[in-house]
Structure 1
């Protein structure tokens, strides 16, 4: 079970099938495979040995897919960098797992010097954009052109495939270690639940640095079908590409879907090719589901629940639970049932399974569950107990095994499909010299689902305002993590143990 086997199969069985389409560039699997083998050779020549980490800081493109397969073909390990991170966060992830090579595109090349100056050991930069290669970097295209193709390293099974950094309640990202077997075991059950569309053309809109975007790309490779990519989300461009490329399916977060539905020109496009839409990254999307099915009554609509540590899918709510009857009886509000090979239980704080209909914590076991957190044995031991992953999500299970999430045990906000950990934001706010105490919560937001809201107590005599605090946060963390609103109070509500009572902060003020 090695993830490059699907490319090997296509090179043998259907090499002239379209592999990628991006920005006017089209290539067959034969062309794609040739570039992958040469990229692997170039990376090995630059010093990448078996198990070494290679990062990519870039928007979606055909080169991003070449990076994924090329690193694995050469025996390396992926470190896909979150494109919404600040320089400090990027450097932390690179240093944490000793990433020696970083591929950047034109959009992120200007960050290279700051990364170089801040990193404990500066990575070797490869420029994967168009046009002239910036000073101090190697050219992605030149490397491929000059390199010799190498044989597939064939690393698989429990060999490390990637390290995907996710936010942590301790205030710094954690590197989730995923093996080839983890990824394979996550993708194959999804293909059983949702068999690939024959001749399907998948539009990649969700970012490939996200585990959901990468996993969906891997499923498309396993199916031997075509990838169409856009660099990022623009509603008008997405509608245009769906029509022009006859897209059959895509994966979107609810904020993207709502933007498409609200686009003033949506009725000008022929979207009849779109057969399937998968959505996720939202605690609740009931009204959105109604809007989608009103506009596309015949579409196969499915929802997935998961987390990076599960590579990522835990459960799926499939198209038959989006029918009028299923919506009427509430099944569309579920996050579905555990996938093939994934064991799911709801447990109490002592780890004992609770009766059906009783709220507890979701725990998961299966071959898709991560190897652990990079260099964090204590946090790994807390998350993985007796073979089970403790998700931190509160839910109940009905008699048919459907999961209904009711809250998050982890202190986390989902804003526009991105996870924001309150402790991380609070740690940054607390650095401001005027802040005595602070607490961060999520509040409802019409566009983003939830927005980051900070409640702040100032030090005696200190002065600041919301805009200054927002600017302070932007210097340390990504923009989507920064508070969108700030409230000032004389004191925070505390429990007898001195903990902030966030449930009190969430109550509406009169």
Structure 2
């Protein structure tokens, strides 16, 4: 299967339906398809050959989706660039993947000279902004206007589709390689799990360089529905856009969902069009989920668990978010394996553990990556005997529901007892004065490791160490309670909204060869 087939279907079946909406600019599938075919021809004219990598350094926009489909239409491979990276990190991904063309929008023009000065292979820079193209850059709009539309290159199946670099939370980023078939599988599996009605309107808030964002876009293209794009996340803008554009579908990470429902103007907007909410990418506090469901009673909530290496692996459907699901505890699960996927929980030897015991979650299905670009050893560690080893600690109940316990590396071993940070974070988040929190392991002379909490108070709230200790002791065993607490104004977040625990650990483990005891 080819990802461009979905676009071809919409151009044929619903050419006058709205394909993209961005900052008041609306384009039909006929207009979008023409621009994609012209962009493909333009990229070929400046050197893109089949399989060549083309990068995009820009915020969410209709240009981003044109880049996505235009590169595939012309036979190239996507290399979406993490917009939160520094120049050295960007250059690493460009050099590692041998990216020959880089599209840059107005937000990141200041990065161009640094990239040009340090990249091993200086890419052709294309300017996708609102003004005139800077010197030594080619205009995105001028390229499209001057180009002749070309036929779809029809790259499909095992042909490479994209290299998605991980966020670099440990060591150098790894380029996750997906084919057209694996991406098609990710999109179809999501669509089978959460069927669309054919007239849906999705708001893209999660960054499109992230698998969550790309996966959401794939679903919209396959279903032939409308894409509404927000350049970045702003809670008030999201609320306005839902009301103005009649948004039906929204994908948010928990930090975004919390910001949305706690916005002081939340009740000022008509959100009646919203039908489906998918959340994922990081653990969610029960208190946040409860409040979100209460604030949006007509919305079907789905939890999607996955990773860059496989897209969605499990899905917790709306029925598990109702009163019965909350009473049984299923609302706290990551659901069952997605259609077409098999998951297991295994021990260190790869043997499946009894139901209810914690082990590593492994995944098998057509959605699993081909491997890591230019990293055969890391690929061999992650892909074993046809299974993707996620590195996530989990348990499975008798009904096949998966409960993510923690990243295995985040497990804290204190005095011989295992403490899973997600459990402690859930308890801390229940305190009415807590806005956000993260729990990490810090070295301890007596216990080896100790539980350390980093907490962000809600604006104007009062909370001290003693109050939080008393709160935690009301819910969990003493050895799980934080032995030390640090209050901050904010937590460090990746572009995908995940807490960067590596940054929280660094001051405590500085000078040591590893970050576990």
- Normalising TM by the smaller chain, what interval? 0.7 to 0.9
Q: In the alignment, what sits opposite 2:56?
A: 56
CA contact (8 A) 1:106 1:130 kept: yes
CA contact (8 A) 1:166 1:308 kept: yes
**Matched residue of 1:309: which SS?**
coil
Aligned residues: 452
CA contact (8 A) 1:336 1:403 kept: yes
Query: Which consecutive residues of structure 1, in runs of 5 or more, have no partner in the other structure?
Result: 423-438, 449-465, 467-472, 503-510
**Matched residue of 1:100: which SS?**
strand
Q: In the alignment, what sits opposite 2:431?
A: none
Q: Within 5 Å, give how 1:474-489 maps onto structure 2.
A: 481=500
Q: In the alignment, what sits opposite 2:11?
A: 11
CA contact (8 A) 2:395 2:404 kept: yes
**Matched residue of 1:107: which SS?**
helix
Q: Within 5 Å, give how 1:194-205 maps onto structure 2.
A: 194-205=194-205
Query: C-alpha displacement at 1:480, in angstroms?
Result: 7.6
| Distance in 2 (alpha carbons) for counterparts of 1:379 and 1:280 | 25
| Distance in 2 (alpha carbons) for counterparts of 1:35 and 1:480 | 38
How has the CA–CA distance of structure 1 residues 5 and 112 changed in structure 2, closer, same or farther, with 3 Å as cutoff? same
TM score, norm. by length of structure 1: 0.83
Range moving further from structure 2, 262-271 or 301-310? 262-271
Q: In the alignment, what sits opposite 1:116?
A: 116
Q: In the alignment, what sits opposite 1:131?
A: 131
Q: Within 5 Å, give how 1:253-332 maps onto structure 2.
A: 253-310=253-310, 312-332=311-331
Q: Within 5 Å, give how 1:6-405 maps onto structure 2.
A: 6-167=6-167, 171-310=171-310, 312-405=311-404
Q: CA-to-partner distance for each residue in 1:111-168, whole Å, 9 max, x for gaps? A: 1001100111111100001011111100000000001100000001011000000145
CA contact (8 A) 1:22 1:229 kept: yes
CA contact (8 A) 1:392 1:409 kept: yes
CA contact (8 A) 1:176 1:372 kept: yes
TM score, norm. by length of structure 2: 0.82
| Distance in 2 (alpha carbons) for counterparts of 1:236 and 1:500 | 39
| Distance in 1 (alpha carbons) for counterparts of 2:302 and 2:221 | 20
CA contact (8 A) 1:255 1:447 kept: no
CA contact (8 A) 2:505 2:515 kept: no
Q: CA-to-partner distance for each residue in 1:232-291, whole Å, 9 max, x for gaps? A: 001111111111001111101111111111111111111111111111122233111111
Query: Which consecutive residues of structure 2, in runs of 5 or more, have no partner in the other structure?
Result: 412-420, 426-437, 441-448, 459-485, 487-491
| Distance in 2 (alpha carbons) for counterparts of 1:481 and 1:99 | 27
**Matched residue of 2:256: which SS?**
helix
Range moving further from structure 2, 190-199 or 329-338? 190-199
| Distance in 2 (alpha carbons) for counterparts of 1:248 and 1:233 | 17
How has the CA–CA distance of structure 1 residues 183 and 443 changed in structure 2, closer, same or farther, with 3 Å as cutoff? farther
Query: C-alpha displacement at 1:70, in angstroms?
Result: 0.2
| Distance in 1 (alpha carbons) for counterparts of 2:452 and 2:157 | 39
| Distance in 1 (alpha carbons) for counterparts of 2:317 and 2:223 | 19
| Distance in 1 (alpha carbons) for counterparts of 2:360 and 2:292 | 31
| Distance in 2 (alpha carbons) for counterparts of 1:121 and 1:440 | 46
**Matched residue of 1:206: which SS?**
coil
How has the CA–CA distance of structure 1 residues 330 and 482 changed in structure 2, closer, same or farther, with 3 Å as cutoff? closer
How has the CA–CA distance of structure 1 residues 289 and 481 changed in structure 2, closer, same or farther, with 3 Å as cutoff? closer
How has the CA–CA distance of structure 1 residues 383 and 441 changed in structure 2, closer, same or farther, with 3 Å as cutoff? farther
Query: C-alpha displacement at 1:340, in angstroms?
Result: 1.1
| Distance in 2 (alpha carbons) for counterparts of 1:148 and 1:236 | 41
CA contact (8 A) 2:198 2:224 kept: no
CA contact (8 A) 1:165 1:175 kept: yes
How has the CA–CA distance of structure 1 residues 63 and 168 changed in structure 2, closer, same or farther, with 3 Å as cutoff? closer
Aligned CA-pair RMSD: 3.0
| Distance in 2 (alpha carbons) for counterparts of 1:493 and 1:9 | 57
How has the CA–CA distance of structure 1 residues 499 and 256 changed in structure 2, closer, same or farther, with 3 Å as cutoff? closer
| Distance in 1 (alpha carbons) for counterparts of 2:24 and 2:174 | 37
| Distance in 2 (alpha carbons) for counterparts of 1:45 and 1:34 | 17
| Distance in 1 (alpha carbons) for counterparts of 2:146 and 2:25 | 20
Query: C-alpha displacement at 1:446, in angstroms?
Result: 4.5
Query: C-alpha displacement at 1:445, in angstroms?
Result: 4.0
Q: In the alignment, what sits opposite 2:417?
A: none
**Matched residue of 2:309: which SS?**
helix
CA contact (8 A) 2:313 2:341 kept: yes
How has the CA–CA distance of structure 1 residues 172 and 203 changed in structure 2, closer, same or farther, with 3 Å as cutoff? same
| Distance in 1 (alpha carbons) for counterparts of 2:309 and 2:505 | 32
| Distance in 2 (alpha carbons) for counterparts of 1:89 and 1:447 | 32
| Distance in 2 (alpha carbons) for counterparts of 1:338 and 1:482 | 27
**Matched residue of 2:343: which SS?**
strand
Range moving further from structure 2, 30-39 or 235-244? 235-244
**Matched residue of 1:90: which SS?**
helix
